[in-house]
A and B are shown apart, each in its own frame.
Chain A
């Protein structure tokens, strides 16, 4: 039973570049949540998606950030024109719904 998969595990981008983070939910799960964890802080909710729909994006910054969960394929969190403040660990979690199971995260470093 594969758990939640995220890739890449580590991503380095220069300021101004784009970052694409991918999340494959657990088999049978159709709900995906994205959270961001800044150094020495707890996780902050960003966005909640179901297949082909954004349900709640109340935690997403208004600019540069977008998310999708297409009918086929993984969920994508996209950050355009990255800045140093975007450096963080980004976790996705999936559910069916109910319990949320987290992936190992993508650690984004902006240089």
Chain B
């Protein structure tokens, strides 16, 4: 019930393409959904986050789409660039019993953007 399922595991797109990464959750108590970007040998860095009271959020070339009824959310990267090649993680946290703010992560998606 505390899982977050992420797909696809890996993704290859051409420069300028729009990769889409999907996540699904079961626990309706989750109320905060961040996306993290991780480069090899580095720690995850917060990219963008959304709460379930909105259906979409944009920050630069990154957009989160949120479907509360389906319990799914996705990351879209507009005009993707080779520098976007990284591993992307979705996560969730929320008002579970004894909420401590811990993040539940998806399995990760390795994105390669070809020049």
Q: Do A and B come from one complex?
A: yes
Interface residues of A (CB under 8 A from B): 4, 31, 33, 35, 41-45, 48, 55-56, 58-59, 91, 93, 95, 97, 99-105
Contacting residues, chain A, for B98 (C-beta < 8 A):
56
Q: How far apart are the CA atoms of A41 and B87 in the complex, in Å?
A: 11
Could you tell me if A45 and B43 are in contact, using CB atoms closer than 8 angstroms? no
Q: How far apart are the CA atoms of A48 and B43 in the complex, in Å?
A: 18
Contacting residues, chain B, for A45 (C-beta < 8 A):
102-104
Interface residues of B (CB under 8 A from A): 6, 34, 36, 41-46, 49, 89, 98, 100-108
Could you tell me if A99 and B102 are in contact, using CB atoms closer than 8 angstroms? no
Residue in A48, A55, A91, A95 whose beta carbon sits within 8 Å of that of B44 in the complex: A91
Overall SS of chain B's interface: loop
Contacting residues, chain A, for B107 (C-beta < 8 A):
41-42
Contacting residues, chain B, for A103 (C-beta < 8 A):
43
Could you tell me if A99 and B108 are in contact, using CB atoms closer than 8 angstroms? no
Could you tell me if A102 and B44 are in contact, using CB atoms closer than 8 angstroms? yes
9 more A-B residue pairs beyond the given contacts A4-B43, A42-B106, A42-B108, with a C-beta to C-beta distance below 8 A = A35-B103, A42-B107, A44-B105, A55-B100, A99-B34, A100-B103, A102-B43, A104-B43, A105-B43
| CB closest residue in chain B, given A31 | B101
Q: How far apart are the CA atoms of A21 and B57 in the complex, in Å?
A: 37
